[in-house]
Structure 1
C-alpha cells in the first residue's frame, strides 16, 4: 500500500491540464520504461507501454487511463492585475470561491486565489449563491504590467493547488485523483506483468492518454494505430455514501472497484458504454474466483473514451472499471487505497486468463449458424 500511496501522491501533485500533460507524460515514461517491451509517445502525448506475446499472430488488448486534469485558462488580464478565466473541463463551480490555485506562468508556478466577495459586504440576496460570471483569480499583482513580469498572460493555464491529505480508513485526498489514481494502477500493473510477460498469450498495451477532460477523444490516434480487439478503460465514478449522495447508487468507497454496466452522457453528446457481455462476464468470473470485491456501476452523466472507441475500426469490444471517488472534480477528490489495489489484482488475473482461444463479440452467432 505504501508504494501505491506514494505513487498517487506524486502523480496528483503534478500539474497537467488537458494538452499540458508534459510533466505527467515524463513521469509515466520514466516509471513504465523498466518494465515494458516498448514505450511510445505520439504527437498528442499519449504514452503506450507494450508487452508483446510470443505466440503467433496474437490478439491485442488496450488498457487505458487518462493523464490530464481539469483546470482553467486565462481569458483576460485586467488593468488592475486580476485574471479573468475560463474553465477547461467540468470544473465544479460550486466550490471555486476562495480556493487556492496554481497559475502556470512562463517563469514558473505563481500562487493564486479565486476571489470572492468579502462576507461583510455580501448582499443578503447574494448569500448562498455562486457567482461564476465574474470569476477572477488574484495573484497579488496590481497592474497588467506586473502580471506580465511574472510570466502570466492570456492563455496561461491554471490548476487547483495540490494538497495531498491522508484520512482514516486508507482514504487519501487531493486534486486530480481523476484520473491519476488510475494512472498509478497502470504503473503497478506494469510491474506485475513484467513478472509474467513470457506467459502472456495476448499483446497487452497500457496507454496513458491525453485530453479526456477536454474532448474525450485524445486517445483515438492510439486506437487507430493499435486496432485492438479489446479496450478496457479505467476512470473514476462518484461514491454515493456521503450524506448528500446517499442512496443514488450502490457504489461506495472502500467496497472495491466498480465494473461498468452502463454509462451515458446525454447533455449534447449522445454517447456511452454498454460493455460486451462476454468480456463483462469473464471479468466478473475472474473476480469471483479470486475473491476480489467488485461493485456494479450504472452512471448517467458519465462518459469515457470507450463511448467512441467501441465504433472505431472494425468494432472494438469494450469494458470499463471505475474507482469510487468522493467529491469528483474538486480539489479534494478522495479515493480508497484498497479499491485501487483490488482493481490492480482483478486486472492482473484477467489478463492472465486470456488465451489464444479467448474471443469476445457477437461473431459467435454466425459461427453457431444463427441459432438462438
Structure 2
C-alpha cells in the first residue's frame, strides 16, 4: 500500500486542465480498478468506483473530488511566434511574469517562459505593478507562428504550470495542481481501505473523481444523477490563512487538521454556495471527537464547490464539504501539510464505515 504522498507526487506530475483530464482519468480508473468492482467512466470523464454493502435498498454516500487543474489556453499566436493566453479557471495571473509554463501541443509538451519587461528598462510607474492578462505572452523559443505550429502548438492548445514537486520540512509539500490532486490521492487511498471492509458496510459507498470543477463547477452532475446519493461529501482545498497577508481572515491553518465547511460561496454573491446539512455536519464532528481527530471550522467567501448544485437535485441531497488547508492556492506553489491530508483520510474512513442502516440525514420526515 502506497503512502498518500506517493500518489500525490504521481498525480501532480500529470497535466490535466478542465476538459483535458485524460491522464488523470486513466490514473484514477487504473487505481480504482485495483480495489473496486464495476469502475466506470462516463462520457465527460467522471470516474465512479462503487463499494456495495450488499444490502437491498441500502442508502448511498458519495465522496468526490475533482481531477482538473487550473491553467490556460492559447488564444492568439503573433507573427513572431509569441503566444497570448486566456485563463482556464481562476489562475492567479499575478505570479506569471518570468515563470515557466508547459504548452500541451499536438506533438508533446512544449516548455515556455512568460515574458517580462527587462528590469533595467522598467519605468517608475511600472515597478511593483502587474501586466493585464491580455498583455501577457509566452515565449516558446521560436521565430514565427508557422514554427510554433510545426511544434504542434495551435490556438486552443492548453497550458499548465510546470510540474515541480517539492517535499519540504515538517511534512509540507509544494507543487502545482495540489488543487485538487490531493483529493484524488485521498480517494485512491480510501478505495484501498474500503476494499478490505466492503462486506461490513451498511451503506453503499461511491468514490467519484470528477471533471471540470475549475471551469464550471458542474462536471460531477452526470455522476450524481447516475448514483442518486442520499449523502454527498465534497473534498477540495481551501485557503490556509496562516501566512502574513491573510492573518486574521480566518483560523484555518496548516497542521491543525481538515477544515469542515460551515459556509462557502462565490465571492460575487451568495447565489452559489454551500450551507451543510446540520445532521451530516454533526456526524462528521462526532467522528472527529470519537477518534481524537483535530478539525477546523471553515467560513470561506470566495470559494465555490460542486455541492452548491448537488444539494438541489430533484430529490434533495444532504451535503457537506471537507477541505484540506492549502497555502498559495491557484499558483504553481500550492502547499499542504501531509499531517492534515492523513487526518482527512481518517475522518472519511471512520465516518463511512460507522454508518448504520438506521441513520438519517437531511430534514425529510
Same fold (TM over 0.5): yes
Once the two structures are TM-superposed, the CA of residue 43 in structure 1 deviates from its matched residue by: 0.6
What's the counterpart of residue 246 of structure 1?
Answer: 247
> Counterparts in 2 of 1:185-200, with a 5 A limit?
185-200=186-201
What's the counterpart of residue 140 of structure 1?
Answer: 141
What's the counterpart of residue 63 of structure 1?
Answer: 63
What's the counterpart of residue 208 of structure 1?
Answer: 209
Aligned-partner SS, 1:344: helix
TM-score normalized with structure 1 length: 0.96
CA contact (8 A) 2:267 2:303 kept: no
What's the counterpart of residue 348 of structure 1?
Answer: 349
Once the two structures are TM-superposed, the CA of residue 37 in structure 1 deviates from its matched residue by: 2.1
Aligned-partner SS, 1:260: strand
What's the counterpart of residue 162 of structure 1?
Answer: 163
Question: d(CA) in 2 for partners of 1:101 and 1:268?
Answer: 32
What's the counterpart of residue 108 of structure 1?
Answer: 108
What's the counterpart of residue 43 of structure 2?
Answer: 43
Once the two structures are TM-superposed, the CA of residue 313 in structure 1 deviates from its matched residue by: 2.4
Question: d(CA) in 2 for partners of 1:295 and 1:175?
Answer: 24
Moved more, 259-268 or 4-13: 259-268
What's the counterpart of residue 313 of structure 1?
Answer: 314
Correspondence 1:178 to 2:179: yes
RMSD of aligned Cα (Å): 1.1
Question: d(CA) in 1 for partners of 2:314 and 2:24?
Answer: 29
CA contact (8 A) 1:74 1:85 kept: yes
What's the counterpart of residue 287 of structure 2?
Answer: 286
Once the two structures are TM-superposed, the CA of residue 166 in structure 1 deviates from its matched residue by: 1.2
What's the counterpart of residue 85 of structure 1?
Answer: 85
> Counterparts in 2 of 1:259-270, with a 5 A limit?
259-267=260-268, 270=271
Q: Give the total of aligned pairs.
A: 364
What's the counterpart of residue 13 of structure 2?
Answer: 13
Once the two structures are TM-superposed, the CA of residue 38 in structure 1 deviates from its matched residue by: 1.7
CA contact (8 A) 1:38 1:51 kept: no
Question: d(CA) in 2 for partners of 1:58 and 1:252?
Answer: 37
Question: d(CA) in 2 for partners of 1:2 and 1:140?
Answer: 39
TM-score normalized with structure 2 length: 0.98
What's the counterpart of residue 122 of structure 2?
Answer: 122
CA contact (8 A) 1:54 1:198 kept: yes
What's the counterpart of residue 72 of structure 1?
Answer: 72
Once the two structures are TM-superposed, the CA of residue 56 in structure 1 deviates from its matched residue by: 1.6
- Closer/same/farther in 2, CA of residues 43 and 274 from structure 1, 3 Å limit: same
Question: d(CA) in 1 for partners of 2:314 and 2:44?
Answer: 20
Question: d(CA) in 2 for partners of 1:70 and 1:192?
Answer: 30
Question: d(CA) in 2 for partners of 1:345 and 1:161?
Answer: 31
Once the two structures are TM-superposed, the CA of residue 238 in structure 1 deviates from its matched residue by: 0.6
Once the two structures are TM-superposed, the CA of residue 356 in structure 1 deviates from its matched residue by: 0.8
Once the two structures are TM-superposed, the CA of residue 55 in structure 1 deviates from its matched residue by: 1.3
Aligned-partner SS, 2:58: coil
CA contact (8 A) 1:76 1:84 kept: yes
- Closer/same/farther in 2, CA of residues 102 and 333 from structure 1, 3 Å limit: same
Once the two structures are TM-superposed, the CA of residue 316 in structure 1 deviates from its matched residue by: 0.5
Once the two structures are TM-superposed, the CA of residue 243 in structure 1 deviates from its matched residue by: 1.1
Aligned-partner SS, 1:308: helix
Question: d(CA) in 2 for partners of 1:26 and 1:272?
Answer: 31
Once the two structures are TM-superposed, the CA of residue 266 in structure 1 deviates from its matched residue by: 4.2
Structure 2 unaligned regions, length at least 5: none
Once the two structures are TM-superposed, the CA of residue 2 in structure 1 deviates from its matched residue by: 6.8
